[in-house]
């Protein structure tokens, strides 16, 4: 996390929360989740508190999305950042394996806030929330050109037939290019799922095998980021399992699912090691 985002987290969001009930509950919910993650012996207590505050804030957020305006855009984006952390972190402290539909349903809420961010981008650019809109690439990483991950994603794009799936895979490639520059791991771990186009998302919700396969490959970013982001811990494993659970044995055999799982895990480990080496 860069200095501008750290400042927003430490100062601006708490300041907004002091005068905005939805942000106060959202911040308390995420704080409780983090406490549960740090203190396993008191996990049940903190989990109950997290659920309490989340339950109070989410209906307000959904109402705000339905009647969004330039006046509420900043609060919507601020809460959606907190909500993203909740979506990724809660299954770990709940020790549960969500279904694919459960995962997609949670992400659906975040996707709604992304649309608001696009609609009111000019307003947000004048606020402290602008740090969540920018995604500059840093210097090129020449050694990344030879990583097997790039070859894996090229094979994925060649394999899927529908243009929506190809476009989603291309967006994943862009996110991976940003990842290896060392740019903002925590955002990249969540951004792809919230930003893919609606036609791909519809195919994914309808459980098209190729769309599910592309979704499974998004865990390359998440698995590689787990050493940096406490709130995505174990998430890649849950997504892979959810994807595998929804595919029939016949489809798994047709697409060679086990081979894809192995490629994803190996590629994520390679990505994580590449970035760690650059940080030394």
pLDDT for 113 beyond 80: no
Torsion of CA 112, 116, 121, 127, to 10 degrees: -100
Q: What is the pLDDT of residue 257?
A: 94
Per-residue pLDDT tens over the stretch 7-25: 777 778 888 888 899 999 9
Angle at 268 between CA 262 and CA 272, to 5 degrees: 150
Angle at 27 between CA 24 and CA 31, to 5 degrees: 135
Q: What is the pLDDT of residue 247?
A: 95
DSSP states of 137-169: --S--GGGGG-HHHHHHHHHHHH--SHHHHHHH
With 0-12 CB in 10 A as exposed, 13-18 as middle and 19+ as buried, what is 146?
A: exposed
pLDDT for 143 beyond 80: no
Per-residue pLDDT tens over the stretch 34-84: 999 899 999 999 999 999 999 999 999 989 888 888 888 888 888 888 888
pLDDT band at 256 (very low <50, low <70, confident <90, very high): very high
pLDDT for 275 beyond 80: no
Count of CA atoms in the C-beta half-sphere (13 A) of 109: 24
Which range in 18-27, 112-121, 171-180 is most confidently predicted, on average pLDDT? 18-27
């Amino acid at each position: 996390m860069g200095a501008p985002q750290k400042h927003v987290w430490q100062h601006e969001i708490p300041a907004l929360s002091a005068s905005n009930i939805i942000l106060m509950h959202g911040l308390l919910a995420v704080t409780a989740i983090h406490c549960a993650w740090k203190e396993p012996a008191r996990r049940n207590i903190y989990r109950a508190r997290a659920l309490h505050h989340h339950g109070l804030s989410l209906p307000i957020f959904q109402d705000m999305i339905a009647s969004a305006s330039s006046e509420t855009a900043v609060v919507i984006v601020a809460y959606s950042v907190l909500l993203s952390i909740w979506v990724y972190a809660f299954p770990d402290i709940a020790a549960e394996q969500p279904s694919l539909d459960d995962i997609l349903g949670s992400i659906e809420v975040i996707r709604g806030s992304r649309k608001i961010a696009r609609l009111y981008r000019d307003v947000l650019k004048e606020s402290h929330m602008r740090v969540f809109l920018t995604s500059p690439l840093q210097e090129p990483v020449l050694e990344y050109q030879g990583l097997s991950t790039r070859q894996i994603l090229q094979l994925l794009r060649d394999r899927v037939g529908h243009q929506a799936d190809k476009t989603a895979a291309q967006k994943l490639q862009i996110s991976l290019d940003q990842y290896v520059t060392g740019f903002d791991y925590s955002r990249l771990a969540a951004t792809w799922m919230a930003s893919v186009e609606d036609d791909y998302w519809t195919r994914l919700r309808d459980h098209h095998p190729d769309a599910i396969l592309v979704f499974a490959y998004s865990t390359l970013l998440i698995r590689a980021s787990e050493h940096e982001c406490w709130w995505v811990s174990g998430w890649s494993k849950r997504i892979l399992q959810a994807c595998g659970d929804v595919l029939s044995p016949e489809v798994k055999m047709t697409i060679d699912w086990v081979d894809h799982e192995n490629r994803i895990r190996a590629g994520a480990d390679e990505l994580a090691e590449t970035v760690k080496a650059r940080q030394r």
